[in-house]
């Protein structure tokens, strides 16, 4: 029996179940992404919302947010590119650990990062634009390092050596050889940093002073405080337009071909300037770990004295803005629900992408939330499912659904390449031995898909724990998540509020790091790129 082998003996017959598996993610995406966006557009078409789009104050916020985002991009590139060169072009002891450390700020909740930097630099850089820019650079360094570094590691260093041999100075060789080879990756990194900075919310709320705003903060204020849904929809629509324009321009200006020769993706040989390289690595390491260490110390020190006064408050405290224990339990529950939902939807989308043309289309559409801010998704979800005829506010499902929408693209982005790169030889052998199509397919792809879904579900849970934008729109006043509660605590005076916020931040930081560490270890053990 060879029924599991397709007409081409090198291919597997697609199981009947997988031919229609795309219907599940398609239904989820249609119900909770496309319909809310359509409702949001419908609200924007309302006369009151159109009037909101003509609000000069809204456009002023957009302009200031764009200026802040462009400044963040410039500073991140200026600081990040030298660090990228250090990590990807030099070989030194501890390089891999430093590379992992550079990624940590990006996966941490933004409110935690902002609070850590505010605690560390508050006496030198007060709350305001300066601290916001520093926080954006700190968080987005990983974007530049990962995107630009992946390309830089494949640039043949002999091209630079040839330029130097012909008389070019180091700066000239860099400008004429290295920069052209990195131009596309630098542009891609710049676009991502711009979008993250332009739609920033957690950092603005914690590190800003009230005068620094983004459209994301306008959306949250108009939704949660002013109950101005047409105004919030106008701000969300304007933000989507700007983000879409940036992404389109980035794609259209990307070079159609890669400049420079490809090289083995390994660091260059050990440099002669050992002291300088190690000194630079130490400086970078201290710069990355200092805010996190400061946050941990802040949770056990008050007025220069060691104390654990605030930690018991996590279990039995109530500081006027919600229960820390309740927020922790709520956030963990939402994170678990988000991880399960996102891994199932993303896993089915990835599996169906291998089996059916419609599945590939659905997997592509599933990436759309990457271009829509969390607060915009929250507003759309609230408009679509937070009122009659379909009101889900009392069910507690709105935040897990919104978080799953944010996390599903991460699952798809991890799962599709992992499945595509998996050899089908085991499945062909199983089919030849008589296995039915579904059994043969699972024999081939099941082990990889299982690992990817578990790891991606953990990553989705980590994202949910620290997500602030959608939660700030959808969370009920008496049921905040941990990031929302941290922001509320920081808005109240007193050592107690700050101390509990610091303890909550340390808990979020620890849980996130453990999750990311387990995911990375699982991927290395199973040989799956996560």
CATH number at residue 528: 1.10.3720.10
**Domain identity same for 81 and 27:** no
How far apart CA 216 and CA 213 sit, in angstroms, is: 8
Q: Which of these, 229, 192, 222, 221, lies nearest to 205 by C-alpha position? A: 221
Q: Are residues 58 and 38 in the same domain?
A: no
Report pLDDT for 501.
84
Q: Give me the sign of the Cα torsion angle 275, 281, 287, 290.
A: negative
Q: What is the sign, positive or negative, of the torsion defined by CA atoms of 409, 410, 416, 419?
A: negative
Could you tell me the residue range of the domain that residue 148 belongs to?
Answer: 54-267
- Residue 14: predicted pLDDT: 65
Higher pLDDT, 2 or 427: 427
**Residue 387 phi, psi dihedral angles, 5° rounding:** -155, 170
Q: Does any domain span residue 281?
A: no
As for how many domains the chain has, the answer is: 2
Question: Same structural domain for residues 257 and 343?
Answer: no
In angstroms, the CA 239 to CA 69 distance is 13
Give the pLDDT score at 137: 93
Q: Please check whether residue 83 lies inside any domain of the structure.
A: yes
Question: Which of 240, 267, 294 delimits the end of a domain?
Answer: 267
Locate 246 and state its tokens: 């940036």
Whether the Cβ atoms of residue 460 and residue 404 lie closer than 8 Å to each other: yes
Q: What is the pLDDT of residues 375-385, one digit of tens each?
A: 788 888 888 88
- Residue 263 shares a structural domain with residue 363: no
Q: What digits encode the pLDDT tens for the residues 425-457? A: 776 766 676 777 777 777 777 777 888 888 778
The answer to whether residue 238 is domain-embedded is: yes
Same domain, yes or no: 36 and 61 = no
Classify residue 278: in a domain, yes or no.
no
Average pLDDT, the chain: 78
Please give the full DSSP string across 332-365, using - where no structure is assigned: HHHHHHHHHHHHHHHHHHHHHHHH-HHHHHHHHH
User: Lowest-confidence range among 10-19, 200-209, 464-473?
Assistant: 10-19
Q: Is residue 287 part of a domain?
A: no
Task: Return d(Cα 444, Cα 14) in angstroms, integer.
Answer: 12
- Looking at the fold, whether 530 and 448 belong to one and the same domain comes out as yes
Q: Does residue 67 sit in the same domain as residue 31?
A: no
Same domain, 198 and 220: yes
Write down the pTM of the prediction: 0.77
DSSP string covering 133-185: HHHHHHHHHHHHHHHHHHHHTTB-HHHHHHHHHTT--HHHHIIIIIHHHHHHH
Query: Does any domain span residue 156?
Result: yes
**Could you tell me if 318 and 229 lie in one domain?**
no
234 and 111 belong to one structural domain:
yes
Whether residues 217 and 334 share a domain: the answer is no
Instruction: Answer with the one of 235, 267, 299 that is the final residue of a domain.
Output: 267
283 within domain boundaries: no
Query: Does residue 276 form part of some domain?
Result: no
Are 37 and 58 in a shared domain? no
């Amino acid at each position: 029996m060879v029924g599991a082998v397709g007409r081409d003996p090198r291919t597997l017959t697609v199981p009947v179940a997988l031919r229609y598996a795309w219907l599940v993610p398609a239904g989820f995406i249609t119900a909770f992404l496309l319909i809310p966006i359509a409702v949001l557009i419908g609200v924007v078409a309302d006369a009151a919302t159109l009037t909101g789009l003509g609000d000069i104050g809204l456009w002023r916020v957009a302009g200031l947010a764009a200026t802040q985002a462009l400044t963040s991009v410039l500073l991140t590139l200026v600081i990040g590119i030298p660090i990228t060169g250090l990590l990807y072009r030099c070989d030194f002891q501890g390089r891999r650990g430093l590379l992992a450390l550079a990624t940590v700020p990006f996966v941490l909740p933004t409110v935690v990062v902002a609070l850590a930097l505010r605690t560390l630099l508050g006496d030198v850089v007060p709350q305001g634009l300066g601290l916001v820019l520093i926080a954006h650079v700190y968080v987005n360094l990983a974007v530049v390092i990962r995107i630009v570094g992946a390309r830089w590691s494949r640039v043949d260093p002999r091209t630079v050596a040839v330029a130097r041999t012909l008389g070019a100075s180091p700066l000239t060789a860099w400008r004429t050889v290295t920069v052209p080879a990195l131009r596309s990756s630098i542009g891609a990194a710049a676009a991502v940093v711009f979008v993250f900075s332009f739609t920033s919310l957690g950092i603005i709320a914690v590190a800003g002073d009230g005068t620094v705003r983004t459209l994301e903060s306008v959306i949250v204020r108009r939704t949660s405080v002013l109950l101005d849904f047409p105004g919030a929809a106008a701000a969300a629509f304007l933000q989507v337009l700007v983000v879409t324009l940036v992404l389109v321009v980035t794609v259209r200006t990307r070079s159609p071909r890669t400049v420079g020769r490809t090289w083995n993706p390994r660091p260059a040989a050990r440099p002669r300037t050992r002291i300088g390289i190690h000194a630079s690595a130490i400086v970078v390491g201290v710069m990355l770990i200092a805010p996190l260490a400061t946050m941990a110390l802040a949770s056990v020190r008050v007025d220069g004295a060691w104390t654990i006064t605030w930690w018991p408050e996590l279990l039995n405290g109530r500081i006027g803005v919600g229960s820390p224990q309740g927020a922790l339990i709520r956030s963990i529950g939402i994170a678990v629900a988000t991880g399960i939902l996102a891994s199932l939807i993303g896993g089915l989308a990835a599996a169906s992408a291998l089996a059916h043309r419609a599945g590939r289309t659905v997997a592509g559409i599933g990436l759309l939330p990457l271009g829509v801010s969390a607060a915009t998704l929250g507003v759309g979800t609230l408009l679509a499912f937070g009122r009659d005829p379909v009101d889900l506010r009392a069910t507690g499902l709105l935040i897990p659904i919104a978080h799953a929408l944010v996390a599903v693209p991460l699952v798809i982005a991890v799962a599709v390449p992992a499945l595509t790169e998996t050899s089908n030889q085991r499945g062909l052998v199983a089919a030849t031995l008589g296995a039915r199509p579904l059994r043969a397919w699972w024999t081939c792809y099941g082990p990889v898909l299982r690992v990817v879904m578990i790891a991606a579900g953990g990553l989705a849970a980590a994202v949910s724990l620290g997500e602030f934008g959608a939660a700030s729109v959808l969370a009920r006043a008496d049921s905040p998540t941990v990031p929302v509660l941290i922001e509320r605590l920081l808005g109240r005076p007193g050592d107690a509020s700050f101390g509990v916020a610091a303890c909550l931040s340390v808990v979020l930081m620890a849980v996130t790091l453990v999750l990311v560490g387990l995911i990375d270890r699982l991927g290395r053990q199973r040989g799956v790129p996560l």
